[in-house]
Chain A
């Protein structure tokens, strides 16, 4: 059967195919040019090279940026997930005054333009006289990551039968022991999801980092700085390729873990069940 005829008849399928191509093709261009031996990012490709990866290894400033980004992402995901656990638990389990308003405030950064968050945080920090460092970036990132942590962990807590906690208390366990032996193991998939997602968000966040970073630039800010030099572009492509593979690896790892623990609990293993 003729391909165009097939596609025009199955317009939904064609729409999906076009959508997927537009979504993922740009990402596939990264590795293509990363191994291209020309300094110009354009077709036709010239030849195969590993030179650009070699450049990465030699660039000290890049290493520093990577290190900063990793530290920021790690601490951000830890703080955001910890706060997320506390917030989600309160939201799911307790009733308290102004609950809706408070939950709304936690979620606001989700829809607030990042540039506004970035600028206002910068102004605030200037006013109280805190100098910019990786900690100011962490503060900004926690702010925008927290809604994700709270959302993921709320669904984890919601899936928890409240009588499990009561059963544990009834069997003589303390509140803390109940958390350690029952609640924590059961929300662990949610905790890992939250850490992975907030890690990823923090790692590639640009706008807030751009405003709040001091001399210790993060990776996205560093990359943005390098974009002004056309000669650096191929090595940026190489860097992008590495980041792409790393992200895929992290997400697959997270999903595998989530499925394993869901299977162990006899729950369904729907592909997005653990994420948001």
Chain B
């Protein structure tokens, strides 16, 4: 078992009849981290979470929690607790009874249970709600009750299946921050399932991106955003401009890349994603905020390329431009902050686009 791993997933696969939900999943989740499983609908996120929780058994591979293989251990024997997507609040019990549900199985006195419940409710900002009926709660409150019910068990790992997807945007954003703070404060490992890349970026220490039952990339939010390993990850997380390119020369430390729309550039060898052969590179990617429109003569950039604005969409703090670079077939997206002195450019305007070699990501 590696140093501070709490969950080890080794070569796990899961099939439902002829449907393969997961195949060859390897991951190590560290103690105390906020880990997210991110991916589009149907990619197997819930399936993986349920394998960890013990609701299903893997078809192949092993799941270990705290160094102990979990094969054959049902959910009620595992040191994990789940916050369900539907919250699964027991409708016939009060808020307090819901939170204390699992404690009744532990050897605790009535008073101890009541104290724990009170403390857990306070932790999720629901102090004094113990006697409320479950159906009197709002969506956000139900989510908190579900969380308190899991936390009160003092599990090694809390599993959350899209816990915020049922909430409206404002509340969701507020809960993202609260949940993250709470996790840091109590230091328990959280595994969050989400299909919302922004949510994963905001909340997580590390993220596993799943496509069709396989982990495409497992990294920190920053690494995922800056150094996506393939086009699919790149376009799933944020927006990426893709442009055709070829590697014209490469050595152990550097390579020369020809990007028709931007020009010739030298990149460091470590900008090549691991396992990618320089000869296989046919595309580069640049994020919209890594391209700049140089508004007047005095503004400069590491490199420049000429282009023409084809459209502009104004979003208050930002304006998103489509710019057709001189040697390109398709326009790129460029996001510009609307600071003082910057007017909104009209389509047809000829512009200089600034960019730098650091922001270039290579793909095959």
The distance from the CB of A174 to the nearest CB of chain B, in whole angstroms, is: 6
Task: Choose one: A163, A177, A265; the contact of B92 (CB below 8 Å).
Answer: A265
Q: Does B342 contact A (CB under 8 A)?
A: no
Q: Does A253 contact B (CB under 8 A)?
A: no
Q: Does A172 contact B (CB under 8 A)?
A: yes
Interface size classification for chain A? 20 to 34
The distance from the CB of B95 to the nearest CB of chain A, in whole angstroms, is: 13
Residues of A within 8 A of B53 (CB): 170
Interface of A is mostly: helix
The distance from the CB of A78 to the nearest CB of chain B, in whole angstroms, is: 23
> Given A167-B82, A265-B135, A266-B134, A174–B88 Cβ distance below 8 Å?
no
Task: Choose one: A169, A182, A266; the contact of B74 (CB below 8 Å).
Answer: A169
Q: How far is the CA of A228 from the CA of B80 in the complex (A)?
A: 72
The distance from the CB of B207 to the nearest CB of chain A, in whole angstroms, is: 24
Q: Does B90 contact A (CB under 8 A)?
A: yes
Task: Choose one: B76, B84, B85, B149; the contact of A173 (CB below 8 Å).
Answer: B76
Q: How far is the CA of A170 from the CA of B75 in the complex (A)?
A: 5
Q: How far is the CA of A169 from the CA of B91 in the complex (A)?
A: 16
Q: Does A264 contact B (CB under 8 A)?
A: yes
A160 nearest CB neighbor, chain B only? B91
Residue in A172, A173, A267 whose Cβ sees the most chain B Cβ within 10 Å = A172
Q: Is the CB of A266 within 8 A of B86?
A: no
Q: How far is the CA of A173 from the CA of B77 in the complex (A)?
A: 9
Q: Does A23 contact B (CB under 8 A)?
A: no
The distance from the CB of B52 to the nearest CB of chain A, in whole angstroms, is: 11
Q: Is the CB of B91 within 8 A of A167?
A: no
Q: Is the CB of B76 within 8 A of A169?
A: yes
Q: Does A58 contact B (CB under 8 A)?
A: no
Q: Does B81 contact A (CB under 8 A)?
A: yes
Q: How far is the CA of A267 from the CA of B133 in the complex (A)?
A: 13
Q: Is the CB of A167 within 8 A of B76?
A: no
Within 8 A of B (CB), among A162-209: 163-164, 166-174, 177, 181-182, 185-186
Q: Is the CB of B92 within 8 A of A264?
A: yes
Q: How far is the CA of A167 from the CA of B159 in the complex (A)?
A: 12
Q: Is the CB of B82 within 8 A of A265?
A: no
A residues near B, CB below 8 A? 161, 163-164, 166-174, 177, 181-182, 185-186, 264-267
9 tightest Cβ-Cβ pairs between the two chains A and B: A266-B135, A171-B102, A167-B88, A163-B88, A265-B91, A172-B105, A169-B75, A163-B84, A185-B92
